[in-house]
Amino acid sequence: MIRIANGQGFWGDSIDAPAEQVRKGPIDYLTLDYLAEVTMSILQKQMSRDPQAGYARDFVEMIDGLLPELVRRGVRVVANAGGLNPLGCREAVLASANRQGLDVRVAAVTGDDILGRLDGMDLHNLDTGAPLSEIRGRIRSANAYLGAFPIKEALGRGAQIVITGRCADAALALGPMIHEFRWGATDWDLLAAGIVGGHAIECGAQVTGGNCQMDWETIPDLAGIGYPILEMEADGSMVVTKHTGTGGRVSVASVTEQLLYEIGNPRAYLTPDCGADFTSVRLRQEGPDRVSIRGARGAPATDSYKVSISYSYGYKATGWVAYAWPDAYRKAQAGDRILRERLERLGLQFEAVHSEYLGAGACHGIAAAEPLQELAAQLPEVVLRFGVRAQERQPVERFAKEIAPLVLNGPPAVTGLGSGRPKVEEVIAYWPTLIPKSEVKAEVVL
């Protein structure tokens, strides 16, 4: 049995969780998941300004303080913190180890970056079917979701820290399982079990009671919530748990919610390494904060990788103002109308104009419309958030000068302009596609 702890569910998650996972008890592996589609876009922007950037610097800072304990305790780390620059991230970690006089073997998994190989490829958008030619001149990054076997190779070559670029989230945990248990590339049920386990813990505290719908008010000590640990057996059976004495709750409900998070067809959850049937698994409460998972069924892997492409998609700006009682909702609606009329009179053309009323149904949209008619008069305050998007920068910049005048030119009892004019931002859009696995070659640099 191996114990795989997760200490990061996304870039921006708790900066204390990784160290607590290492210090509070024995674990064999620490996985850290930093990447999402939006994260890759952020990293792309950073790398466009500084070619040495493009990775999660928070990871390097965290590792810098934790390295002595990782070495002393023999804990191995697997993280996708490399983003668009896993080699740069590796060099930064090695520099930290050298400063501290520590002998640490650090591997980088590369090969997911296919930006320089797109010419001549006949790729189509996974959602719309549109050809790549429609965005070719605006592409900023292109990364394939690699699987777990390059991570297994890095661990097999002695790496204590493995840094990847884009890979499937569950692969961070599956790689150590394949390495430790010597699972083969066609052991579909075992690989599927690893995918289920990796998916269960990949979002950090979301499986230990965070963001949990079931009895959320009774979940203890969310301020001190513990992050998940997966106790994995060679036969594919597993238990999701957390360190004793930490907050939160591991229950069948919390594990079920996480297993259903961000999946499409639950009978065919596709990853680079296999397909997994989530409906085949059985959950059981084995004790306080211990849920077992058994029975995972797998299917052969597909012959393609999913690719995440980012590309330039114009400019946007979003501003907001807050209106106070009485008639807060009607004031916000009036402010909305005034802004739209001003933009029309100025002759500004936008690809999208969007407004919403925070505190008055913004989260639920049309589903909240009827109840709001009864509650509108009692709402103490409503925030009008108003945004525009256009291919050219000029109309967006002009819009940004129209929010502040609402203070004196619009409905009364308005506030919220202390942050100044809205900032004009470049829009980086997401374009998913598939690429034959034969076109992608992962490499391990150690």
Secondary structure class of 445 (helix, strand, coil): strand
Domain assignment present for 438? no
If you compute the radius of gyration of the chain from its CA atoms, what whole number of angstroms results?
A: 24
For 111-147, give the DSSP string: --B-GGG-TT---B-TTT--BGGGTGGGEEEEEE-B-
E strands in 235-277: 238-242, 269-270, 275-277
Note whether 197 and 335 are same-domain residues: no
C-alpha 387/C-alpha 317 separation (Å) is: 6
**pLDDT recorded at residue 144:** 97
Q: Which of 94-108, 109-123, 185-199, 364-378 is least confident?
A: 364-378
Interval 392-399 mean pLDDT: 98
Domain assignment present for 444? no
Secondary structure class of 385 (helix, strand, coil): strand
Q: Looking at 278, 302, 326, which one is the last position of a domain?
A: 302
Confirm if 32 and 203 have CB atoms less than 8 A apart. Answer: no
**pLDDT recorded at residue 9:** 96
In the chain, % of residues over pLDDT 90? 90
Q: Which of 9-18, 81-90, 363-372 is least confident?
A: 363-372
pLDDT band with cut points at 50, 70 and 90 for residue 40 = confident
Interval 190-207 mean pLDDT: 98
Nearest to 27 by CA among 78, 84, 100: 78
**pLDDT recorded at residue 376:** 77
Interval 28-53 mean pLDDT: 90
Mean pLDDT of the chain: 95
Domain assignment present for 324? yes
Interval 80-108 mean pLDDT: 97
Note whether 317 and 275 are same-domain residues: no
Q: Looking at 302, 326, 356, which one is the last position of a domain?
A: 302
Q: Element (H or E) spanning 344, and its range?
A: helix 328-345
- Parent domain of 360: 312-431
* Residue listed under structure tokens 């009978």: 267
Instruction: Residue 399: give its domain's CATH number.
Output: 3.30.70
pLDDT band with cut points at 50, 70 and 90 for residue 276 = very high
Q: Element (H or E) spanning 52, and its range?
A: none
C-alpha 200/C-alpha 251 separation (Å) is: 12
Residue type, 127: D
Q: Looking at the predicted structure, is the pLDDT value of residue 306 above 80?
A: yes
Note whether 192 and 93 are same-domain residues: yes
As beta bridge partners, residue 6 has 31
Note whether 339 and 268 are same-domain residues: no
Note whether 196 and 344 are same-domain residues: no
Interval 127-138 mean pLDDT: 95
Q: How many CB atoms lie within 10 A of CB 412?
A: 11
Q: Looking at the predicted structure, is the pLDDT value of residue 42 above 90?
A: no
**pLDDT recorded at residue 39:** 86
Residue type, 427: V
**pLDDT recorded at residue 421:** 93
Q: How many CB atoms lie within 10 A of CB 233?
A: 14
Nearest to 166 by CA among 275, 288, 262, 37: 37
Cis peptide before 228 (omega within 30 of 0): no
C-alpha 320/C-alpha 398 separation (Å) is: 16
**pLDDT recorded at residue 313:** 94
Note whether 286 and 327 are same-domain residues: no
Domain assignment present for 387? yes
Say which residue, 102 or 44, is predicted with more confidence. 102
Domain assignment present for 442? no
Q: Looking at the predicted structure, is the pLDDT value of residue 10 above 90?
A: yes
pLDDT band with cut points at 50, 70 and 90 for residue 12 = very high
CA atoms within 13 A on the CB side of 229: 24
Secondary structure class of 270 (helix, strand, coil): strand
Note whether 256 and 365 are same-domain residues: no
**CA dist 411 to 213, 324, 374, Å?**
38, 10, 21
End-to-end CA distance of the chain: 27
Count: domains in the chain: 2
Domain assignment present for 233? yes
Interval 407-424 mean pLDDT: 92
Interval 409-438 mean pLDDT: 93
C-alpha 159/C-alpha 152 separation (Å) is: 10
Note whether 83 and 217 are same-domain residues: yes
Residue 184 burial by Cβ neighbours in a 10 Å radius (0-12, 13-18, 19+): exposed
Q: pTM for this structure?
A: 0.94
**pLDDT recorded at residue 374:** 72
Alpha helix (H) residue ranges in 50-145: 57-73, 86-99
**pLDDT recorded at residue 348:** 97
Q: Looking at 244, 277, 302, which one is the last position of a domain?
A: 302
pLDDT in tens, 205-242: 999 999 999 999 999 999 999 999 999 999 999 999 99
Secondary structure class of 329 (helix, strand, coil): helix
Cα 304–Cα 29–Cα 143 angle in degrees, nearest 5:
25
Note whether 271 and 318 are same-domain residues: no
Note whether 55 and 31 are same-domain residues: yes
**pLDDT recorded at residue 419:** 79
Nearest to 402 by CA among 424, 369, 430: 424
Residue type, 307: V
Q: How many CB atoms lie within 10 A of CB 227?
A: 29
Domain assignment present for 140? no
Q: How many helices (H) and strands (E) does the chain have?
A: 12, 19
Domain assignment present for 215? yes
Q: Which of 2-6, 48-52, 164-168, 441-445 is least confident?
A: 48-52
Note whether 296 and 405 are same-domain residues: no
Q: Looking at the predicted structure, is the pLDDT value of residue 365 above 90?
A: no
Residue 4 phi/psi, 5° resolution?
-110, 115
431's CB contacts (< 8 A; 6+ apart) are: 125, 132, 135, 139, 308, 309, 310, 311
What is the spatial order of strands in the sheet that 297-299 belongs to?
269-270, 275-277, 297-299
Note whether 175 and 324 are same-domain residues: no
How would you classify the pairing of strands 414-415 and 304-324?
antiparallel
